[in-house]
Amino acid sequence: MSRKHRKDSKSVSLVLGSGGARGLAHIGVIEWLNDNGFAIESIAGASMGALIGGIYAAGRLDAYKAWVCALEKTDVVRFLDLAFGSSGLFKGDRIMETLKGMVGEHDIEDLPIRYTAVATDIERQREVWFNSGPLFDAIRASIAVPSIFTPHQYQGMKLLDGGLLNPVPIAPTFQDRTDLTIAVDLNTPRRQRARAEQPRKEERVGDDQGYHAKIKHFLDSIQKGFRGDPKGDLGLFDLLNRSFETMQNAISATKLASYAPDIVIEIPRDTCGSYEFYRAQEVIRIGYQSAASGIAAKMS
């Protein structure tokens, strides 16, 4: 993904929020900024924002985009390494190794863009900012969604998802000397209109069945004992996910009111579910369109 910019381009501090698969919208936002001559000089991210921002800073976002957009053709079940009897459903080692193979090992201080990933020290109940050290330690810590991924052990700390305390981490950009601070909020109110579904390829059965069918079957088998009753009550995982999102929504609103960036790009929380990564192309397109409309309204 090109980083060439005009001499008169505006420099940007980009804040990428947390929100699961909705974070794929960050790719579209970055693409729009690059296409329109903005110079991204600093990135701060939480959870999926830390992952997308770190991969972009390492210069490998095109490779990641191609990979994630092809997930319907990929046997992703091999990335789900169950952590039986542990403090999370998945260990996350396999997906991290896959990303490392795609992106390469990097130290944050060597990246060409200033980068900060935010995680949560669960024992000390405080934010941890990664702006040096191994990139994938920062990403793994920041994406450790409670009950989904096991906590990341790092330098004596037990670290969880940065979105627990700071879903839109604006504060790490306060010392930046850029023209604009642009924040992407993945937890804005639901849209009133019906969601346009992405056309999906026909899924095959058998050993070569599609991504969505495999994930649905896999998660269904895990959740049998945790489903809601026929009255429509939420199952355990749905309840945990909705609770986490409710908390993030409240914190995001407070952070944005207290530390208002120059521009907020809003991605509605019904854009996709937290784990609907198979809708990558659609969500990336929504991010691009939201950046176009959100930034144009402020810059006009």
Let me know: does 130 contact 141? Beta carbons within 8 Å: yes
How far apart, in whole angstroms, are the C-alpha atoms of residue 118 and residue 59? 20
How far apart, in whole angstroms, are the C-alpha atoms of residue 86 and residue 68? 28
What local confidence, expressed as pLDDT, does residue 235 receive? 60
Let me know: does 237 contact 215? Beta carbons within 8 Å: no
What local confidence, expressed as pLDDT, does residue 198 receive? 45
What local confidence, expressed as pLDDT, does residue 194 receive? 39
What local confidence, expressed as pLDDT, does residue 197 receive? 44
**110: annotated active-site residue:** no
SS3 22: helix
How far apart, in whole angstroms, are the C-alpha atoms of residue 21 and residue 2? 24
The 10s digit of each residue's pLDDT in 81-94 is: 666 666 766 777 88
What local confidence, expressed as pLDDT, does residue 226 receive? 42
Number of other CB atoms surrounding residue 259 within 10 Å: 16
Torsion of CA 34, 261, 281, 293, to 10 degrees: -80
Spatial CA neighbour of 75 closest among 187, 206, 192:
206
Say which DSSP state 91 is in: -
Q: Which of 18, 47, 142, 274 is catalytic?
A: 47
The 10s digit of each residue's pLDDT in 18-77 is: 999 999 999 999 999 999 999 999 999 999 999 999 999 999 999 999 999 988 645 455
What local confidence, expressed as pLDDT, does residue 252 receive? 76
Name the token pair of 137.
Answer: 């330690």
What local confidence, expressed as pLDDT, does residue 247 receive? 75
Let me know: does 105 contact 136? Beta carbons within 8 Å: yes
What local confidence, expressed as pLDDT, does residue 200 receive? 45
What are the distances in angstroms from CA 124 to CA 128, 160, 162, 254? 10, 12, 14, 22
Q: Which residues of the chain have pLDDT under 50?
A: 73, 75, 193-212, 222-228
**161: annotated active-site residue:** yes
Q: Which of 42, 137, 142, 161 is catalytic?
A: 161
Torsion of CA 158, 68, 195, 272, to 10 degrees: -10
